[in-house]
Amino acid sequence: MMETTRPSEKVISAILNCVCPECGGPISLEVNEFRCHGLCGKDWRPFWDRVLSEPKHKTTGRASN
């Protein structure tokens, strides 16, 4: 079975829900920082900025002629 959700989408969802995808700790959503206040202490801001700067690919689900 193929997974339909990309890993980055799972990370984005976790960040938006204020849960660290790495350790499950709470994430502080400060203006310039998405820092985990759990065990890992990771700053997710660089990941967030990278995802937002990626070009969006539109797919229609149909083959083009």
Report whether pLDDT(27) > 80: yes
Query: In this structure, what DSSP letter does residue 22 have?
Result: T
- When pLDDT is averaged across residues 35-63 and rounded to a whole number, the result is 80
pTM: 0.64
Query: In this structure, what DSSP letter does residue 18 have?
Result: T
pLDDT band at 2 (very low <50, low <70, confident <90, very high): very low
Long-range contacts of 17-25, Cβ-Cβ distance < 8 Å, separation of 24 or more: 20/44
Residue 36: phi, psi to the nearest 5? Answer: -75, 135
